[in-house]
Amino acid sequence: MKKVEILICLMVFATIGTAFARERTTREERRQQQSEKVQKLVDAQSYKFVVQQAIPVMSQELMNFVAQQTTPASWELFNSTSGFFLSVSNDTISAHLPFFGRAFAALSNIQFESTDFSYRLEKIKRGGWIAHISIYDATRRVDLVLEIATSGSARLSVNDNMRQQISFRGYIAER
C-alpha cells in the first residue's frame, strides 16, 4: 500500500513538473515570436508607436497643479488611452501626441505629418533599436528619439525648440 501511495505521488509531481516546463517553453516561444514581429516592423520602417503614458518635465507650475488636485485620478492625467500615436513609414512620419508643460508659443498637442525628414536606425547591444528622427518641413525643427525594445515596448523623447522636452512610454504596433 505504501508503495502505491509513493508511486501516485511521483506521478502527480511528474505531471505538474511537465506542465510547468511546457508553460515556460510556451512563454519563451511567445517572447521569441513577439521579438521577430517587432524586428520585421522596424526593418520594414512601417510601424506605429502607441502612447500609453506621457512623462512631462515636471516644472514647478505643473507640480503645483497636480498637488492641488484632490483626487488620485489627477495623476491619471499622464496615462493615455485616447489614441495618441507616432506613425512611421518609408515616406511619411505623422504624429498626434499630447503635450503637458511649458510652451513658448500658443501650442497645444504635438501634431504633424511630414515627408521631409531624416531617419537613422541604430541597433543597440542589449537588444533593440534607437531611431533618430528629425522633422524638417514643420515651421521649426523637431527631433524625435525612439528607443524600441525587442519585446515591443518603447520610449519616445520629443525635442522641440518651442516647448519643453516631453517623453512618452508605449509600445510598437502595426500601422
Q: Which of these, 33, 32, 47, 31, lies nearest to 148 by C-alpha position?
A: 47
Does 96 have pLDDT greater than 70?
Answer: yes
| Model confidence band, residue 163 (pLDDT cutoffs 50, 70, 90) | confident
CB 148 within 8 A of CB 170: no
pLDDT digit string (tens) for 1-43? 667 677 676 666 666 656 555 556 688 888 889 889 999 999 9
* Other CB atoms within 10 Å distance of the CB of residue 97: 21
Structural domain count, the chain = 1
The answer as to whether 2 is a domain residue is no
Domain holding 166, by residue range, is 39-173
Q: What is the mean pLDDT of the chain?
A: 81
Asked if residue 76 has pLDDT above 60, the reply is no
Residue 45 sits in a domain of what CATH number? 2.40.128.410
**Beta strands, E only, 20-62:** 47-56
7 falls within a domain: no
**25-43 burial code (b ≥16 CB/10 A, e <16):** eeeeeeeeeebeebeebbe
Is 82 part of a structural domain of the chain?
Answer: yes
Q: What is the pLDDT of residues 105-141, one digit of tens each?
A: 767 788 889 999 999 999 998 889 999 999 987 677 8
* 22 falls within a domain: no
Alpha-carbon gap, residue 175 to 168, rounded angstroms: 18
80 assigned to some structural domain: yes
